[in-house]
Structure 1
Amino acid sequence: MNSDICRIVETSEDHGLHINTSKSLAMLFGKRKARERHKDSVRIRVKGSTLPIQDYAKNLGVVLDSDLRFKKQVSEMIKKAFLNLKLIFRNRRSISQQIKSILCESLVLSQFNYCDALYGPCLDAADKYRIQKMQNSCLRLIYGVRKYDR
């Protein structure tokens, strides 16, 4: 594997792309027991530096975890979406229903739409439920319905 990585580094540098080893890391994907079994035996070296093996990494705004369950990704999306929803909620009385809808779609729900084809099929029922709760909160805000109204 290290020889393949050396060829990738050489090809990258031939095309003007330099690998920053201080910002690079390695990940092992698979079940937890298999990862733990191989974690100590895997050494990936780039330009003389051994890359640290991490359990998760952020790439293009998506947090990948080593078991591909995207729990940390969902938590970060919900955190950002909730903060944006709170900003809209503060001004709910001064904006129309149409503007609330546009703001919720662009600031809150867009958090979940980014790369949903990547993480969507991997989510468990609990994470899907957490996302559904956030979507329900947006609808309640838009239509002025309280949580337990019927």
Structure 2
Amino acid sequence: MTDDESQLTHTDEEGNVRMVDVGSKPDTKRRAVARGTIHLTRSTIDAIRADEVAKGDVLATARIGAIQAVKHTWETIPMCHAIPVTNVDTGFEVHDDRVTLTVGVETTGKTGCEMEALEGVTTGLNVVWDMVKAAEKDADGEYPDTRISDVEVVEKTKRALDP
């Protein structure tokens, strides 16, 4: 095993994948915020704003999808711990050519919640795509203007519990 491999927290001494033992870590209040963007045509953005998308309220559905994804992150990311999510907040910014989704996640526990925030953003944006894909498709059946980009963690904090 190389020196780099011995520094990985998700492998044991033999290089086998494992879940990190966080049992001895103290509980702390944690928050993570992630953000991402879906680029769409102006006509699709106008339909979202006017709530005229055939499948229904795009942003409300995406919000529900984002929250559900946060709550189920441990089921889709192999080494994530199931954490007690204490709060999820979502926010949309609708521009003329894109929708930006921000997801904040809070927990009190032994490990962070940035993976949950990222899962919330990516799922929420996937829901937007699913809701508008018929409107986004061009005559050739392609999606020339539709893309998800700039998914990132923009905040990660932790603080000790009050005594």
- Scaled to the shorter chain, the TM-score interval is under 0.3
Bigger Rg, structure 1 or 2: 1
Q: Which has the higher strand share?
A: 2
Q: Which has the higher helix share?
A: 1
Q: Which has the higher contact order (CA 8 A, sep 6+)?
A: 2
- Normalised by the length of structure 2, the TM-score is 0.26
